[in-house]
Structure 1
Amino acid sequence: MTTIRTGTDLAAVEDVVAGITAHGERYLSRVFTERERADCGDDPERLAARFAGKEAVVKLLRPAPDDAVLPTEVAVVLDTAGAPVVELSGRAAELAAALGCGPVAVSLSHERGLAVATAVALAER
């Protein structure tokens, strides 16, 4: 049976700024892939949208409480037309495969210090 899986997340830009301020490169490299950072130019508002996207995808995958998905295993990058797309690796890719998920679509928005993302995928299990 095919099901629709969804995930939504809201992130505050000030939380990304605080992470960068407190931990600098260590925070950026643990949370974002090099491609995400390049796509965003390390702009906190755009990074917050990517963070919300990552969290929305993890909510869609619904891992068990003790089944960690690293932030860099879910990448929200831009395609050649400039639209956000999801790239999964590691445990995130394994969970998607186990669910029979097709490609994950993501929509991002940011305004007035907040970023929101919704992720959607069709799954066969």
Structure 2
Amino acid sequence: MTAVRTGCDLAAVDDVLAGISAHGERYLARVFTVRERTDAHDDPERLAARFAGKEAVIKLLRPTDGQAVPLHDVAIVLDGHGAPVVELTGAALTLAEAQGITVVDVSLSHERGLALATAVALADR
């Protein structure tokens, strides 16, 4: 049986700025891939949107308490047309494969200090 999975998240740009202010490069490297940072030009609004995207994807993957999904295992990058796409690796990819999820779509938006993301996928299990 195929089921639609959704996840959404809202992130404050100020929270990303606070992480950068408090931990600098260590925060950026722990949360975002090099490609995400490059695509976002290290712009806090765009990074907040990617953070929300990561959280939205993790929500649709529905990990149990014993299944940690590091933020680095979900990357929100831009395709050749500038649209956001999801790349899964590590624990996120393993969890998606176990659920029959092959593609995750994501939509991002940011305005007035807030970033919103919605993720959608089809799961076969």
TM-score, scaled relative to structure 1:
0.99
Mapped to 1, the partners of 2:32 and 2:58 lie a distance apart of 15
Aligned position for 1:30: 30
Does the alignment pair 1:89 with 2:56? no
Alignment deviations for residues 63-92 of structure 1 (CA, whole Å, 9 cap, x no partner): 012211111100000000000000000000
Q: Which moved more, 1:63-72 or 1:23-32?
A: 63-72
Does the alignment pair 1:11 with 2:11? yes
Does the alignment pair 1:74 with 2:67? no
3-state SS in 2 of match to 1:108: strand
Aligned-residue sequence identity (percent) comes to 72
Aligned position for 2:115: 115
Mapped to 2, the partners of 1:13 and 1:49 lie a distance apart of 8
Q: Which moved more, 1:9-18 or 1:66-75?
A: 66-75
Give the letter for the 2:32 counterpart. F
Alignment deviations for residues 22-60 of structure 1 (CA, whole Å, 9 cap, x no partner): 000000000000000000010000000000000000000
Mapped to 2, the partners of 1:66 and 1:20 lie a distance apart of 29
For the aligned residue pairs, the C-alpha RMSD in angstroms reads 0.4
Does the alignment pair 1:58 with 2:66? no
Mapped to 2, the partners of 1:54 and 1:65 lie a distance apart of 18
**Paired positions, count:** 125
TM-score, scaled relative to structure 2:
0.99
Give the letter for the 2:97 counterpart. A
| Runs of 4+ with deviation above 4 angstroms | none
Structure 1 gaps of 5+ residues are none
Give the letter for the 1:73 counterpart. D
Structure 2 gaps of 5+ residues are none
